Amino acid sequence: MLASYFVVNGVKAIRHPDEFVADAQPLADKVIPLVNSTLPEAARGYLPEDTVGLVKCNGFLQVVGGLSLATGIGRRLGAGVLAVSMVPHVLTANPLKAKGVERSVVGSQLGKNVALLGGVLLAAQDTEGKPNLAWRVRTQRQLLGKEAAKRKAELQRDAIATTADAGKRARKTVRKARRSVESVLS
């Protein structure tokens, strides 16, 4: 259900980007020059150059992320993509700039955007009851450490026992040698 909002909104942004351009223009005016000055020349060709392109790109991210979240294929990555695509929506909904009735509309829009952002952030963290890779690696390392410590203790006990046995055999051999020498000398 969460994914359906993003798929529908993303398709709408791709098909009719003009509806979103007015809201996205202030953010695009700040972001596009910053990105163009930061990225190398080869990478700039792949990014949108105007607000319409930025809106379409964001819509595409929402469609891909929404489909990923809905199908479960790359679900956590898709939810992360959706979270990134929601950041511009949260940043552009500023109720302090609006006046009167428009302020409540923009405020509710901001609330909805923050709630959607929170929902996809939760979805990005959800492991469906299965531990994530970092937990599995950490647990495996702890188990291997315990197993190595146990094996080390066993080897130390065996080494001590072997040393003690070798000492007993050496003493027996020395006693036998003394008896042999004493019997030869007597």
The total of structural domains in the chain comes to 2
**Model confidence at 97: pLDDT above 80:** no
Question: Which tens digit of pLDDT belongs to each residue from 41-57?
Answer: 888 788 888 889 889 99
**Model confidence at 11: pLDDT above 90:** yes
Hey, what are 28's tokens?
């695009």
Residue 175 domain boundaries:
132-186
Hey, what are 93's tokens?
């909904």
Hey, what are 5's tokens?
């909002």
Query: Same domain for 76 and 117?
Result: yes
Query: Same domain for 156 and 113?
Result: no
Query: Same domain for 69 and 27?
Result: yes
Which of these, 48, 10, 17, lies nearest to 31 by C-alpha position?
Answer: 48
Query: Same domain for 104 and 142?
Result: no
Report the share of the chain in percent with pLDDT over 70.
Answer: 99
Domain stop point among 125, 151, 168: 125
- Answer yes or no: pTM beyond 0.75: no
Query: Same domain for 105 and 159?
Result: no
Res 82: pLDDT: 94
Domain stop point among 97, 125, 153: 125
Alpha helices (H) along 50-132: 51-71, 75-92, 101-125
Query: Same domain for 121 and 153?
Result: no
Query: Same domain for 41 and 77?
Result: yes
Res 185: pLDDT: 82
Give one DSSP letter per residue of 117-163, joined into a string.
HHHHHHHHH--TTS--HHHHHHHHHHHHHHHHHHHHHHHHHHHHHHH
Query: Same domain for 92 and 162?
Result: no
Query: Same domain for 30 and 91?
Result: yes
